Amino acid sequence: MSAPLTTAVRQKNHAPTEPQVVRWLLIGIALIFLTLFLALPLAAVFSQAFEKGFSVYLAALREPDTMSSIKLTLITAAVCVPLNLFFGVTAAWAIAKFSFPGKNLLITLIDLPFSVSPVISGLIYVLIFGLQGWIGPWLQAHDIRIVFAVPGIILATIFVTFPFVARELIPLMEAQGKEEEEAALVLGATGLQTFFRVTLPNVKWGIIYGVILCNARAMGEFGAVSVVSGHIRGMTNTVPLHVEILYNEYNYTAAFAVASLLAFLALITLMVKSIAEWKVRQQLNNT
Amino acid sequence: MKLFKPQNNVLPGFGPTLGFTLFYLSLIVLIPLSALIFRTAGLTWGEFISTVTAPRVMASYRVTFGSAIIAALINVVFGVLVAWVLVRYRFFGRRIVDALVDLPFALPTAVTGITLATIYSSNGWVGRFLEPLGIKIAFTPLGIILAMTFIGLPFVVRTVQPVIEEIEVELEEAATCLGANRWQTLQLVIFPMLLPSILTGFALSFARGVGEYGSIIFIAGNMPMISEITPLMIITKLEQFDYQGATAIACVMLLSSFLILLVVNLLQRWSRRYAE
Amino acid sequence: MGIEIENISKHFGDFSALGNVSLTVPSGELVALLGPSGCGKTTLLRIIAGLETADSGRILFNGEDTTRSHVRERKVGFVFQHYALFRHMTVFDNVAFGLTVRPKSTRPSREEIRKKVTELLHLVQLENMANRYPSQLSGGQRQRIALARALAVEPQVLLLDEPFGALDAQVRAELRRWLRKLHDEIHVTSVFVTHDQEEALEVADRIVVMNRGKVEQVGTPDQVYEHPASPFVLNFLGNVNLFHGRISQGQAHLGGLQVDSKGYAGADDTPAVGYVRSHDIEIERDRQDDSSIKAVVRTILKLGPFVRISLAIEGNSEFIEAELTRDTYKHLNLQQGEQVYVRPRRVRVFVEDFQI
């Protein structure tokens, strides 16, 4: 159709813009800033990690405490991401496809964990489950440990990653309207058929986007987890906490070796995120 | 439940999905957060005030909020520049740069912290060039500003970028046809349209800076009264088993985040005032 | 299958979308719901489909009350204004959807589905598009696929919401001729919503003119055009000129016009309005008799096949408009500012309280 043609013509005649020199200058400043500010630290992580050679790097990763921290981080993400995914999809369905009073308040409340300091996110669980907390004494009497143990780490991580999927899906599902779902119902589909065959495929990339960000934060969270973890080596240390311990022990190479895993995760996250963003835009344009 | 009855909608599942949403939200977010409020209520007013206004705590507010404001201002300048360059100009590697902007968002804060501390320390990649100039960043309050700027950047770029994308070229063409020069067009047409998003970006970046913990503690030096941030005060109190003190300070921080959240919401409403 | 709509009312907050609407759609007919936007026509259509619930009243399909039954059970075909095609499915899967979601016991075999879909694609003349995605189709093609998808479940009733609203003028004209032809072939009871009088007049067997949540008139295209029941209907179907005046003893005095109006024989010195369609106004150079009035030519607009002339009449603050064929216009050789006589060929008089 004629759409691409018109954009091509418009860009060619894109009359009002800055003089060439100004453009280059601005691009230059932006690139120098981003290189110094973002690319350099990224390069530094890998450079420090491999400073003493590949074998030292591998040895640092093979260390039992490191392996157990990786295991704990994977377990945490494996619990948090599916829970928050399920919540995100459910909340988006209720909020995007129906109108009811108090909707905006609900959206604000869902976003709340984003505006709370990670330290507070950890603290609130200590206040409830800690020894001096609401149900701490009862838990102790029954020999159940939540804070300074794995359940606390998982709870705090669920809190900080709570909004990711929901806040991505709500606007996307709102933008797509409910006509396709109505069409499916008129054609005789049941509610679940409508959801799985019409709604879900349409928000697929939005879900991937939300999940990848949720996962990145779940694996990388430091502040909140730091408060509820007992910092017990090999027991309640996640990968970011382990990085801290190694760093504070002046074991820089090992710290950066473990950090490079997280940096690698960040790079993959950025890549998947870019692709998902592009796909979501495409899907919306096809409406 | 009658209050939440949706009007004329044939789509199924409203009850269960909203029910689960409210249940999960209460369980994970609302009840734990209210624990904080109730705990604070256990303090007398005098105890509360003396805890949250102790000199060391007051100094931490100054460090935290002051650094966050400076970092957010730096981010507004560079963030708007980066957003403009990314949307309006075509250059080699633009897509990669665009993706890279989210790095502070994706990189775990502990990694950010140790990396910044390393490259800005006196023998680090950047620090060694600054040292002879008499500029010390790592382990000084400047380091706090640096870390806050790093983590806050994507908030400004990602808030302003879509707004620049949506500005119709016709508007600028109209301004040019009416005799405005480029500077006047930017100043009188573009800037007012961007202002709400710039302010929102500022507020988000500021809020992120105030709450940040992980990336800062590695680079700040954490000297009481000088480079100690408020979240660290909470941790310190907790480690001393001073739960009341930690709770009181956390409550002040929580209130300040609510305030920022409110401002952001108002700003967003304001930015839609011309929308049809 | 016939549809009966009994006393349907619907409110949105304080706004009354439908006020006690009753209507019968005879089996096998193609009926147009015609009216301006906000008149409740789409709401009525969605209530028939079961996509909205009425506050009160009943919907009967073939005498059977369906008011309580779910949209899924009503077996209606619904064509949405913006197509609502499933964008992640091919054209084939879109059309097959209604069949593949059936429970196993009533679901046709893969082969039967394939046959049925191919048949339908043939019917809408898009056989070679089966593997395309909706985004690769033009608007007109998408609408035809939406129709094929609706027909796949062999609906008892076909409902179309502004089916051609989002298309450009030429495709629209083509599609509505095609829809009429299609209906003549398959004869499924159909209701479509439109705000375009031309579309309604061309396509429908029967037109329901709606205004402010009420039915103004129901009739064949000829009936509503030739014998409009109210000034609203008259006004909505074509351009009209208004002549204000009074009515007494069966005679209307409208400016310089005298019109017999037996319908209001009882009225005595009542304010009244005469309505004349633009193409019912003749222009003469010389006065033939006293049924014409003096006027001055103000503007002349040539609009393709016809010419629109606006004229100023003494004592009438608004200009009146006449539509002439090009031939008549050439023959008269009218000039701007010229004085002429106008003769309304056909005046319909309504007393004032019928005002729009």
Nearest to C202 by CA among C192, C212, C211: C192
Does the residue A201 lie in any domain?
yes
Structural domain including A43 reads 19-49
User: Do both A35 and A60 map to the same domain?
Assistant: no
**Percent of chain A at pLDDT exceeding 70:** 94
- Mean pLDDT of the region C34-41: 91
CA distance C154 to C170: 29
- Whether the per-residue pLDDT at C240 is higher than 90: the answer is no
ipTM: 0.89
Beta-carbon pairs below 8 A across chains A and B: 287
As a whole number, mean pLDDT of residues A267-282 equals: 91
Mean pLDDT computed over C57-75: 88
Residues in C closer than 8 angstroms to B8, CB to CB, are 52-53
- Measured CA to CA, the distance from residue C330 to residue A134 in angstroms comes to 96
- Domain assignment present for A11: no
CA distance C18 to C55: 9
Same domain, A27 and A159: no
Position A16 scores a pLDDT of: 62
Please tell me whether residues A228 and A269 are part of one structural domain: yes
- Under the banding of pLDDT at 50, 70 and 90, the label for residue B145 is very high
Please name the chains neighbouring A, where neighbouring means 3+ C-beta pairs under 8 angstroms.
B, C
Question: What residues of C are in contact with residue B10 (Cβ under 8 Å)?
Answer: 50-52, 70-71
pLDDT at position C33, please? 95
Q: In Å, how far is A287's CA from the nearest CA of chain C? A: 7
Residue A125 and residue A38 share a domain:
no
Residues 130-169 of B with CB under 8 A from A: 149-150, 153, 169
Position A8 scores a pLDDT of 34
pLDDT, one tens digit per residue, over C244-291 is 888 887 778 877 777 777 777 677 788 888 888 888 888 888 877 777
Chains that touch B (3 or more CB pairs under 8 A): A, C
> Residue holding tokens 């014998």?
C227
pTM, 2 dp: 0.86
In-domain check, residue A12: no
Is some CB atom of chain B closer than 8 A to the CB atom of C53? yes
* Residues 172-211 of chain C whose Cβ lies under 8 A from any Cβ of chain A: none
Is A66 a member of any domain? yes
Write the single-letter amino acid at A75.
I
Q: Does the beta carbon of A255 lie under 8 angstroms from any beta carbon of chain B?
A: yes
**A267 occurs within a structural domain:** yes
pLDDT at residue C52 tops 60: yes
Could you tell me if A35 and A64 lie in one domain? no
In three-state secondary structure terms, A17 is: coil
CB–CB of B110 and A182 under 8 A? no
Residue A281 has pLDDT above 70, yes or no: yes
The Cα C296–Cα C129 span in angstroms is 58
Q: Are residues A167 and A27 in the same domain?
A: no
Q: Which residue has the higher pLDDT, A77 or C341?
A: A77
Contact B13 A93 (CB under 8 A): yes
Contact B8 C50 (CB under 8 A): no
Where do runs of H (alpha helix) occur along B42-140?
45-52, 55-88, 94-100, 103-106, 109-119, 127-130
Interface test with B, best of C8, C53, C67 (most B CBs within 10 A): C53
Instruction: Say yes or no: A166 and A25 in one domain.
Output: no
Q: Are residues A45 and A58 in the same domain?
A: no
Tell me if A2 is assigned to some domain. Answer: no
Looking up residue A218, the CATH number of its domain turns out to be: 1.10.3720.10
Inside any domain, residue A94: yes
Amino acid at position B271, single letter = S
A119 and A24 part of one domain: no
Q: Considering the domain boundaries, does residue A121 fall inside one?
A: yes
| Residues near C10 by beta carbon (within 8 Å), at least 6 away in sequence | C16, C17, C18, C40, C43, C47, C52, C54, C55, C213
Q: Provide, as residue numbers in chain C, all residues whose Cβ is less than 8 Å from the Cβ of A193.
A: 101
Across the range A231-258, mean pLDDT stands at: 90
Tell whether A35 and A89 lie within a shared domain: no
The yes-or-no verdict on residue A96 having pLDDT over 90 is yes
* B188 touches A at CB < 8 Å: no
B187 lies within 8 A of chain A by CB: no
> A143-196 pLDDT, tens per residue?
888 888 899 999 999 999 999 999 999 999 998 889 999 999 999 999 999 999
Q: How many domains does chain A have?
A: 2
- Record the tokens describing residue C347, joined without a space: 């005046």
Q: Are A64 and A43 within one domain?
A: no
Residue in A188, A201, A287 nearest the CB of C72: A188
Mutate to test the interface with B, among A34, A185, A212 (most CBs of B within 10 A): A34
> Of A29, A49, A69, which residue is a domain's last?
A49
User: What span, in angstroms and rounded, lies between the C-alpha atoms of A83 and A72?
Assistant: 17
List of domains in chain B: 32-167+195-275 (1.10.3720.10)
Which structure tokens are listed for C343? 């003769």
Interface test with B, best of C14, C43, C51 (most B CBs within 10 A): C51
Q: Which of A49, A69, A93 is the last residue of a domain?
A: A49
For B8-21, the pLDDT digits (tens) are 578 888 999 999 99
CA distances from A147 to B206, B246, C228, C347, C355 (A): 30, 16, 79, 89, 76
Lowest-pLDDT range, A107-121, A246-260, C341-355? C341-355
Task: Say which residue, B264 or C86, is predicted with more confidence.
Answer: C86
Looking at the structure, do residues A28 and A58 belong to the same domain, yes or no? no
Cβ of B169 within 8 Å of Cβ of A123? The answer is: no
State whether C72 and A190 contact (CB < 8 Å): yes
Q: How confident is the model at residue A19 (pLDDT cuts 50, 70, 90)?
A: confident
Partner-chain residue, chosen from A193, A201, A202, that has the shortest CB–CB distance to C101: A193
